[in-house]
């Protein structure tokens, strides 16, 4: 059987030079799954249709490839800080649960990948954070998929720094250095699992 070796794939994310206008200054910071059109994933839900986030994702275009049909959901209860919060370590696959999103944070990658971080609460208690990733597809010159809807993304880990950014209706992902694994595509079984390194940074204010 023909084999094919792949070098480690890096997605380099530069400082984004994207600018959008802020939404209504009176927009509430506390939102539920129905008030903004952004879904709060249930506990353990690993993938959500990108259509649930169309109001945000339609404003950020992929520089190469196409936006994946699913948004990947990871979660963590390991965090520290107040106005600037740091989340780090190995994240769980799927949402953390909870009943309400107290704050949302948005970051963007150079190729148009989008990170949405949700501060999740039960009542007044913060129980942890969901990290939602909408990735752009990437293929080799001969069409072999590196990142695609047929290659599941798992084993998300790293460090994310958040800023409340009170001038916007949402917070910002100040910086992040994270990694995950793109699993084997059943249509290309000779392509091994490989690591995808990702960097995200802040954007301008976005209304969604």
- Among 25-29, 42-46, 173-177, 188-192, the range scoring the smallest mean pLDDT is 25-29
Closest CA to 145 of 66, 73, 199, 74: 66
- Cα angle value 96/13/155 (rounded, 5°): 35
pLDDT at residue number 129:
94
Confidence label for 97 from pLDDT (cuts 50, 70 and 90): confident
Evaluated on CA atoms 137, 139, 143, 149, the torsion sign reads: negative
Q: Higher model confidence: residue 133 or residue 122?
A: 133
- pTM value? 0.80
pLDDT at residue number 82:
64
pLDDT tens digits along 164-208: 888 888 999 999 999 999 999 888 888 889 889 989 999 888 877
Domain residue ranges of the chain, discontinuous segments joined by +: 9-201
pLDDT at residue number 83:
58
Closest CA to 11 of 173, 153, 125: 153
């Amino acid at each position: 059987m023909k084999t094919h070796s792949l070098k480690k794939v890096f997605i380099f994310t530069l400082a984004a030079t994207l600018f959008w206008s802020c939404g209504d200054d009176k927009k509430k910071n506390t939102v539920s799954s129905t008030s903004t059109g952004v879904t709060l994933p249930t506990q353990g839900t690993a993938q959500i249709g990108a259509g649930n986030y169309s109001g945000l994702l339609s404003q950020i275009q992929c520089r190469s490839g196409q936006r994946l049909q699913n948004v990947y959901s990871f979660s963590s209860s390991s965090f520290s800080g107040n106005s600037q919060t740091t989340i780090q370590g190995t994240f769980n696959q799927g949402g953390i649960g909870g009943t309400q999103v107290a704050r949302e944070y948005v970051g963007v990658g150079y190729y148009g990948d989008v990170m949405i971080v949700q501060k999740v609460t039960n009542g007044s208690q913060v129980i942890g954070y969901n990290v939602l990733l909408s990735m752009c597809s990437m293929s080799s010159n001969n069409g072999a998929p590196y990142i695609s809807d047929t290659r599941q993304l798992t084993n998300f880990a790293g460090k994310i720094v958040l800023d409340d950014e009170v001038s916007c209706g949402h917070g910002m992902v100040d910086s992040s250095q994270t990694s995950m694994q793109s699993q084997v595509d059943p249509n290309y079984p000779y392509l091994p699992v490989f690591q995808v390194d990702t960097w995200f940074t802040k954007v301008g204010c976005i209304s969604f």
